[in-house]
Structure formats: structure tokens, C-alpha cells
Amino acid sequence: MRTLFDEAGEDLRRLPFAELEARAKVCKLCRLSHGRTHVVFGEGPQPCDLVFIGEGPGEVEDQTGRPFVGRAGQLLDEILKASELPRESVYITNTVKCRPPENRLPARDEMEACWPYLEAQIYHLKPKIIVTLGNAPTQLLLDTQEGITKIRGQFFPWKNGIELFPMFHPSYLLRNPSKEKGSPKYLTWKDIQRVKARLHEHRNG
């Protein structure tokens, strides 16, 4: 995986957050830049104790420039609201900032091209917990091939004291609407409660 340096050798951590976003919005480092309408950098407070990382922008996100505002995003909002974790209290972004064609998963080289931006975001945000939504961000950040069904719902030590917690992507929940015990929605409800409790522990020492 690439380091925090872009192709010109510049350490993106040194850029102010606003300048980092401005740089991302004119990025041409991978093929995804060719078909985008908007770069979807992310949104939320900076710094932020809790960061959610999805896979890539969808059609609505590409049109608006905002992350998680389509159907999957609306479900994420519902999950956060029901857990008393308001959307405006968390930071939300994706592994890639431009929409993959037909909403396919981002390719490995596309995620690696965008990695300097994502890791610089994390550096500035200084989260206590990162929730990875789905396989793409989970496998990227944990450097694993394990699927989300096997490793969701667990805390993993990451870098600089940050804990990483994989969860199902909301789009997967839309395809599996059952709320019965053991269903993806049931497990996600349990997972977000664990995240909330752990965040409380971090904040209260």
C-alpha cells in the first residue's frame, strides 16, 4: 500500500484540512476521476472521535458531492439516530472519493491511489474509533482477505491507538431487510451499540 506521500513525494498530512480537501477535488491519480461529477471528500466535525469509512460514492453522492445521502446513507442515518449518535457528531467518508462506474466496488489500485487522502484525513481527524462499512474499507485498512461476515463486530487495534470496528455496509442491509435474531440488521443493531459503549469508555477514561 502507498504511504502518506502522493506521486510527487509530498506528505499530505502537512496540508491544512481544507487544503487537503481542495487538493482531492482536482485529483487525477486514478481512472475514477474521468467519470466523476463531484469528488465526495467526506463530511463531519474535525477532529472527530468516531469516523465511518464506506466503499465509494454512489450516484446520488456523485451528484451532490456528499457522502452517504442515497438509500444506504438514509439507512445509516436511521441507525445513527436510533443509537443516539447524531450524524452531525460523526465524520463520514469512503475509501475512494470518486464514484466507481455502475456503483461497483472500488478496485485495489483505485483505493491505493486514494489512500494518501484517506490516511491524511485520519491523521487530522484523530479518531478513537473507525467503523469500516463493508469489505472494501475493512480489507484495505486491516490488510486482510477475510470477509466482513467473519470479522464484523470485533474491535481491532490499528495505528496510533485507534481501534477499528468492521460492520455490514448499509446497502447490504437494504438487500437483507429481515430484523429476525441473527439477521444482518439484528447484528448491526448489536454492533452499533457496542461502538456507542466503547466510545463512551474512551471519552470517560
Q: What is the pLDDT of residues 123-148, one digit of tens each?
A: 999 999 999 999 999 999 999 999 99
Which backbone phi and psi does 15 adopt, to 5 degrees?
-80, 140
What pLDDT sits at residue 11?
86
The answer to whether 24 and 117 have CB atoms below 8 angstroms apart is yes
What pLDDT sits at residue 122?
97
Question: Any idea where the domains of the chain sit in the sequence?
Answer: 16-203
pTM over cut 0.75? yes
Banded model confidence at residue 4, pLDDT cuts 50, 70, 90: very low
Q: Over the stretch 148-201, which tens digit does the pLDDT of each residue have?
A: 999 999 999 999 999 999 999 999 999 999 999 999 999 999 999 999 999 999
What pLDDT sits at residue 9?
55
Which superfamily is assigned to 16-203 in CATH?
Answer: Uracil-DNA glycosylase-like domain (3.40.470.10)
